[in-house]
Structure 1
């Protein structure tokens, strides 16, 4: 730490008010690609480059960054870096091939800092794990990062929770169509609604790499949850193993679809919330199926016993009466849900050919 302090002191004492004034003018005028430099930069160590960049940009160097240069993992969470502090890091890390994990969570880097990092990631193909949670990246920052996801082949884990992305999921969806390297994507608490989920699903429909998707604490309804699950299960080449929508209360159709999906892939882990009545309704079919198989051999044979005219149809009232007389252990709500399930078109009859 003493060496780091020496480096900081050697950079020269900066007046705090001058730094603030330079920072405010530099934000819009400086460009990472040109670097505001008129002559080639001399060969410098990473630490020297960083100190020089900080002085030119007008920010105080971060001692922790200096002390950990050359490490494969770097945690700069809660450092108050801001967009210009991140810009200084980006200039140094552009050509770094050692760093693999970078945590910049909770640094108030905003959309401009997101653009600086996106520029860096367009040149750096060593970083595999990046945490940018709690940074207020918003729509513009999400757009910049989506561009990176399309082309960066090194990123494996990307944590972006609490950034108010909203419907920027459209660009993330397009990025996922092209990316075949990203394994974990965390989008928790990002104001993502059902429409944004549908946009994200445009990429999930063909993506073959993503294994973990986190979407909890977003305003997603049971409709968005069902859209997401259908998209993943319909993608036969999907690598998805974990979906976190634990804050969403799902419907009976979702639970049934998930049960079918787990028959094909028992390792699929989907975290969700469910009301007790939904669980009870879903169990109604299994109760009915088990009873009819034990007493009649199959669901089909149960219905055939009610269909004297062999029309392959039984009225809802006849079915309701038969279930009660057979003492099948279903309560009233379960029975009515079962009838709605069998008579989806509300014709007052059950076409039991569906059980052939």
Structure 2
């Protein structure tokens, strides 16, 4: 969100509307309190509704949230709750005994930005889309999962986002967009230059929807993360995505889990990966892919000297020792790569105890022998000396360093122990002193 704005005095309209009779259950009564100025003049003990200090009220909200809340109240037909306006930025707000009702609650949910699982439907989509079209500088992220949005809602959002380039992250998962919505989304992505993360998982997009989406995605120059898992678009959708990966040089994260993609569809994606220079994460979990398809996939990375691929998830695919040997060769060329797969039992039994030696203990032993701290060791991996590194760079540095004997399985475990978040490994919390 942009700059904070001082809280404007509550208007006469709000105060007048409190005493207005409610004609039906459709217009729900929400308690409106005295003005901020009057509230400031009262002694603290006279406030019966909150213990929060309301001096310096400006800090309690940002422009976008207040305006969005007032717009939502107007469109769903409820009186704004001034207590909520004053305290909407607090981590805890007690709204007991405010007579919110379902519409009042819906208006507040919309203002809180993360409004997943609220069954907003078409009415909620209209409120949000009108706000996004009228105010292009307030919100940067929207989480709208599970709100019973259908193709009509998708059309509204896409119209708004065709002009609003401030939204960077949008979660529309677990809705009911279906194929037609894919057309609207594709048209929006073709011209939007702001959106960087889009979650469309669990949306019944199927084949036509994803193909239409891909038509717009080919020319998109801003989207980096796309989640299309659980949409059942099969090999035709995979082929369309393969064409996107040939042309698009901006996507870095693509989740295609559980989409009924077989080796045929994977072959289209694999051919595109021989040319792609941007994708870092590819998730193909729970697709009916065999080991032959998996081999084809990793060989496509081997053939691409400029591949940036760091993580591939095919963890339901059962592989043999032959696959592991091929993967070893690929990782020798691309040490930043890690592939999750399912090993056969015989292969698992062949792993030596060394393979599973605690990597932290190995590093600590080296640090003790050389009278340095473990933090010094990790800092030496980063040319900049900083205490955070992108996952791929960290994995590559660990594999290529020659101070501690460590393999890629141990590096994977090490990354988990260090708590990888948002694509970064952070070892700043390691405070061990020199021995």
Distance 2:276 2:331 in 1: 19
Deviation at 1:207, TM superposition (A): 0.6
CA displacement at 1:97 relative to structure 2: 1.5
Q: Is the 8 A contact 1:229 1:254 kept in 2?
A: no
The reply to whether residue 142 of structure 1 matches residue 210 of structure 2 is yes
Pick one of 57, 60, 82 that aligns with 2:123: 60
Of 166, 170, 183 in structure 1, the residue corresponding to residue 252 of structure 2 is 183
The one-character-per-residue Cα deviations of 1:153-176 (angstroms, maximum 9, x if unpaired) are 101001100000101211111111
CA distance in 1, matches of 2:247, 2:223: 13
SS for the counterpart of 1:244 is strand
SS of the residue 1:60 aligns to:
helix
- Tell me how far 1:182 sits from its aligned partner: 0.6
Query: Residue 144 of structure 2 is aligned with which of 76, 90, 113?
Result: 76
CA 202–266 in structure 1, closer or farther in 2 if over 3 Å, else same: closer
Q: Return the TM-score normalized by structure 1.
A: 0.63
Task: Show structure 2 runs of 5+ residues with no match.
Answer: 1-67, 79-109, 111-120, 353-435
Q: Partners in 2 of 1:74 and 1:204 — Cα distance?
A: 31
Larger radius of gyration: 1
- For the 8 Å contact 2:173–2:203, the answer to whether it is kept is yes
Structure 1 unaligned segments of length 5 or more: list them.
12-46, 48-57, 284-356
- Give structure 1 regions of 4+ aligned residues with deviation exceeding 4 angstroms: 63-69, 279-283
CA distance in 2, matches of 1:82, 1:201: 33
- How many residues are paired up? 238
Q: Following TM superposition, by how much is the alpha carbon of 1:245 offset from its aligned partner in structure 2, in angstroms?
A: 0.4
Query: Which residue of structure 1 aligns with residue 318 of structure 2?
Result: 249
CA contact (8 A) 1:252 1:281 kept: no
1:64 deviates by: 6.0
Q: How does 1:1-356 map to 2 (within 5 A)?
A: 3-9=70-76, 59-62=122-125, 70-167=138-235, 168-279=237-348
Question: Partner of 2:254: helix, strand, or coil?
Answer: strand
Secondary structure at 2:315's aligned position in 1? Answer: strand
Q: CA deviation at 1:252?
A: 1.9
Q: Over residues 67-126 of structure 1, what are the superposed CA-to-partner deviations in whole Å (9 max), with x where a residue is unaligned?
A: 786311011111111110111111111111211001100111011111111111112111
How far does the alpha carbon of each residue in 1:315-345 deviate from its partner, in whole angstroms, 9 at most, with x for none?
A: xxxxxxxxxxxxxxxxxxxxxxxxxxxxxxx
Partner of residue 340, structure 1: none
Which range is displaced more, 256-265 or 239-248?
A: 256-265
Distance 1:117 1:96 in 2: 14
Give how far 1:282 is off: 8.9
- Deviation of 1:266 after TM superposition, in Å, equals 2.8
TM-score (norm 2): 0.52
Task: Indicate the residue corresponding to 1:315 in structure 2.
Answer: none
1:151 is paired with a residue whose SS is coil
CA RMSD of aligned residues (A): 2.4
CA contact (8 A) 1:155 1:181 kept: yes
Cα deviation code 1:39-90 (max 9, x no counterpart):
xxxxxxxx9xxxxxxxxxx942335667786311011111111110111111
What CA deviation, in whole Å up to 9, does each residue of 1:260-296 have, x standing for no partner?
A: 222333321110101121345798xxxxxxxxxxxxx
Q: Is the 8 A contact 2:129 2:156 kept in 1?
A: no
